[in-house]
């Protein structure tokens, strides 16, 4: 039985005995820092069933708890808040009962699985900063769900077909002269992306020329020769033209190779891949079944729709009059196919920008209407866009922040700052490179993940690598500081720490550690890495306050010294776990 459960039981018995009734539930919260106490009972909600002054009610409960609950050694009442002071023995018991802080808060996988989709890039350009928020969010949420006890499959759907892919193909065919990643020295995704930008330049020139001849802008866009040729190339691809399909396969293979290198640099992975070239025909059979069951209806022109007006939405097209699919059709079919491929999946999370909020409301509702039980557990991990101090990015114009360039810039910035601090002179060049990459990636990932996913954000590379404040490097540095303490600590053995008197800073640190399992579960329930990020920062702040106010290795009492070293080690392990859930590594030296 947890302490809160024990206190709830006692408070109900006390109120029934003294006031003739008891509340259904008892509300707890952390005691505010300006008051003495470790856990607070909120008295105000009890006034619904208990008549009286909240201060007097609090005093009555506090006095009785002090007599009946060993862990409660004192209390104070501030208005309607009963602040309970807990014994050192209670906190030391918690600390001793955790067998291994390396796995503290992590639950083993239960039954049923979740599928998390993230990344899902187009094969006509390299990954950029916008993709990075998607990838880092999706990967971290998958790791958090696993820590909370879920089995998780990580997946992505690669948008490898369509007019935008043909634009890159056409530009390479016209101007490439057989250029390859090997001959150019470029990563494959960068090479293909260059041709996408090249197409756009030519296309804009053609539009201008047609407008000069008297066409309107819309007419010029529709009749530009490059676009017409790209459309013809798409028709050939869909018809299975061997030459077109071979070009498509070759250029896509270049891009996939480039993507994999970027994913490796980011430290993310996937369990399965889906390709739109395979899934774009899915869903039609499901629409036919839904027609027979009355989920969909057909209009006079033969198009098929789903009427969602009673649900507060609109009518949604799911098949065109010529029988061709729309994106919604594909997404319906792909979701169903994923469960066929992984029968234990009972829910899915789609990491997609907030411009698709409406699309996913409609998709989830249609899947529910089709009668799939797992459709009750679908979630759109919607996130805001990432901007830079210089403004918005545009792929067609080549003004995006390339993911690889950003990774390199983060490592370079970490190098500059680390060398200024001058604490790694004895590192080999290889060790330095690895450290700078670890710090740079920690800075990037933490800066992005500490923000609530639903909010838009401004990413400032320089600010993110600051070794002070709420940043990844600040937290990594604290972990390295603790490792330095542990290296200097003597072999302390198995001394008895049960009877030591806790310093207030030790107590605060133990209280912060206690929260970690609860934070993991809350982060999983809310699909929010920001909760883990900000918890880890709070833990680090608490440790640094402890470090500045309490002597660790210089403690005279051997038991105190042993406890403080072990406490420091526990904090380092929880920092490492918290950062692992964010996809961030922590160095032992910085």
The pLDDT tens digits of the residues spanning 353-364 come to 999 999 999 999
Report the pLDDT averaged over residues 377-390: 88
| pLDDT higher than 80, residue 161 | yes
- Assess whether 572 and 431 both reside in one domain: yes
The DSSP secondary-structure symbol of 78 reads E
Query: Would residue 138 count as lying in a domain?
Result: no
Q: Could you report the per-residue pLDDT of 276-321, keeping only the tens digit for each?
A: 999 998 999 999 999 999 999 999 999 999 999 999 999 999 999 9
- Assess whether 32 and 171 both reside in one domain: no
Query: Would residue 588 count as lying in a domain?
Result: no
Query: Would residue 340 count as lying in a domain?
Result: no
Cα distances (angstroms) measured from residue 524 to each of 325, 521, 580, 582: 35, 5, 15, 12
The domain boundary residue, chosen from 259, 278, 295: 259
Query: Would residue 506 count as lying in a domain?
Result: yes
Poorest-pLDDT segment among 29-43, 313-327, 376-390: 376-390
| pLDDT higher than 90, residue 416 | no
Poorest-pLDDT segment among 258-267, 406-415, 532-541, 572-581: 406-415
CA pair distance 590, 582, nearest whole angstrom: 20
Q: What is the mean pLDDT of the chain?
A: 93
- Assess whether 516 and 408 both reside in one domain: yes
Cα distances (angstroms) measured from residue 445 to each of 212, 258, 433: 48, 20, 18
pLDDT (0 to 100) of residue 495:
64
- Assess whether 410 and 554 both reside in one domain: yes
pLDDT band at 493 (very low <50, low <70, confident <90, very high): low
Report the pLDDT averaged over residues 195-214: 96
CATH code assigned at 34:
3.30.1360.70
CATH code assigned at 548:
1.10.730.10
Using a pLDDT cut of 90, give the percent of the chain over it: 85
pLDDT (0 to 100) of residue 396:
44
pLDDT band at 389 (very low <50, low <70, confident <90, very high): confident
With a CB cutoff of 8 Å and minimum separation 6, the contacts of 566 are 95, 492, 497
pTM exceeding the 0.85 threshold for the entire prediction: yes
- Assess whether 73 and 188 both reside in one domain: no
Q: Could you report the per-residue pLDDT of 51-93, keeping only the tens digit for each?
A: 999 999 999 999 999 999 999 999 999 999 999 999 999 999 9
Domain containing residue 26: 3-86
Query: Would residue 390 count as lying in a domain?
Result: no
Query: Would residue 214 count as lying in a domain?
Result: yes
- Assess whether 558 and 463 both reside in one domain: yes
pLDDT band at 492 (very low <50, low <70, confident <90, very high): low
- Assess whether 63 and 206 both reside in one domain: no
The domain boundary residue, chosen from 48, 70, 86: 86
Counting the structural domains of the chain, the total is 3
Report the pLDDT averaged over residues 256-269: 97
pLDDT (0 to 100) of residue 426:
85
| pLDDT higher than 80, residue 494 | no
CA pair distance 16, 434, nearest whole angstrom: 63
The domain boundary residue, chosen from 86, 115, 132: 86
Q: Could you report the per-residue pLDDT of 227-236, keeping only the tens digit for each?
A: 999 999 999 9
- Residue where the block lists tokens 């790791």: 143
| pLDDT higher than 80, residue 392 | no
- Assess whether 441 and 539 both reside in one domain: yes
CA pair distance 436, 406, nearest whole angstrom: 13
Query: Would residue 540 count as lying in a domain?
Result: yes
pLDDT band at 395 (very low <50, low <70, confident <90, very high): very low
- Is 424 exposed, middle or buried (CB count within 10 Å of its CB: 0-12, 13-18, 19+)? middle
CA pair distance 132, 407, nearest whole angstrom: 10
Query: Would residue 77 count as lying in a domain?
Result: yes
- Assess whether 79 and 168 both reside in one domain: no
């Amino acid at each position: 039985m947890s302490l809160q459960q024990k206190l709830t039981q006692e408070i109900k018995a006390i109120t029934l005995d003294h006031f003739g009734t008891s509340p259904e539930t008892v509300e707890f919260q952390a005691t505010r820092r300006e008051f003495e106490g470790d856990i607070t009972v909120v008295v105000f909600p009890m006034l619904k069933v208990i008549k009286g002054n909240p201060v007097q009610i609090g005093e009555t409960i506090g006095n009785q708890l002090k007599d009946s609950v060993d862990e409660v050694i004192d209390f104070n009442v501030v208005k309607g808040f009963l602040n309970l002071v807990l014994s050192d023995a209670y906190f030391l018991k918690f600390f001793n009962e955790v067998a291994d802080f390396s796995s503290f808060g992590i639950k083993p996988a239960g039954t049923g699985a979740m599928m998390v989709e993230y990344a899902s890039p187009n094969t006509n350009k390299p990954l950029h900063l916008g993709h990075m928020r998607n990838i880092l969010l999706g990967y971290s949420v998958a790791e958090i769900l696993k820590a909370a006890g879920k089995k998780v499959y990580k997946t992505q759907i690669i948008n490898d077909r369509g007019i935008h892919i043909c634009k890159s193909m056409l530009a390479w065919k016209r101007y490439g002269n057989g250029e390859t990643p090997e001959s150019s020295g470029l990563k494959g995704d960068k090479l293909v992306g260059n041709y996408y930008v090249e197409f756009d330049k030519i296309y804009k020139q053609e539009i201008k020329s047609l407008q000069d001849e008297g066409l309107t802008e819309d007419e010029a866009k529709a009749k530009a020769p490059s676009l017409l040729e790209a459309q013809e190339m798409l028709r050939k691809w869909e018809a299975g033209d061997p030459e077109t399909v071979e070009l498509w396969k070759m250029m896509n293979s270049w891009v996939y190779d480039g993507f994999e290198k970027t994913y490796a640099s980011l430290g993310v992975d996937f369990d399965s891949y889906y390709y739109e070239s395979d899934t774009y025909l899915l869903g039609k059979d499901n629409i036919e079944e839904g027609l027979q069951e009355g989920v969909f209806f057909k209009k006079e022109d033969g198009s098929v729709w789903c009427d969602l007006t009673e649900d507060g939405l609109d009518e949604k097209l799911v098949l065109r009059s010529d029988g061709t699919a729309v994106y919604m059709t594909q997404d319906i079919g792909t979701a169903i196919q994923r469960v066929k491929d992984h029968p234990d999946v009972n829910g899915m999370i789609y990491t997609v920008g907030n411009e698709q909020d409406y699309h996913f409301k409609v998709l989830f509702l249609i899947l529910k209407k089709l009668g799939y039980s797992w459709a009750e557990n679908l979630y759109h991990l919607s996130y805001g866009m990432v901007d830079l101090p210089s403004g918005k990015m545009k792929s067609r114009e080549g003004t995006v922040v390339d993911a690889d360039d950003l990774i390199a810039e983060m490592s370079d910035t970490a190098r500059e700052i680390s060398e200024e601090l001058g604490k790694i002179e004895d590192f080999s060049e290889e060790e330095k490179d690895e450290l700078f990459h670890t710090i740079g990636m920690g800075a990037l990932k933490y800066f992005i993940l500490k923000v609530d996913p639903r909010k838009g954000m401004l990413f400032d590379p320089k600010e993110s690598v600051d070794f002070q404040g709420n940043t990844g490097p600040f937290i990594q540095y604290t972990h390295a500081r603790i490792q330095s303490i542990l290296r200097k600590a003597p072999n302390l053995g198995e001394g008895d720490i049960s009877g030591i008197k806790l310093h207030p800073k030790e107590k605060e640190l133990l209280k912060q550690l206690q929260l970690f399992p609860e934070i993991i579960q809350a982060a999983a329930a809310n699909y929010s890495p920001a909760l883990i990020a900000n918890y880890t920062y709070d833990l680090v702040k608490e440790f640094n306050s402890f470090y500045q106010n309490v002597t660790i290795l210089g403690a005279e009492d051997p038991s105190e010294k042993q406890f403080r070293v072990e406490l420091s080690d526990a904090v380092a392990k929880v920092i490492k776990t918290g950062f692992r859930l964010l996809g961030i590594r922590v160095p032992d030296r910085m």
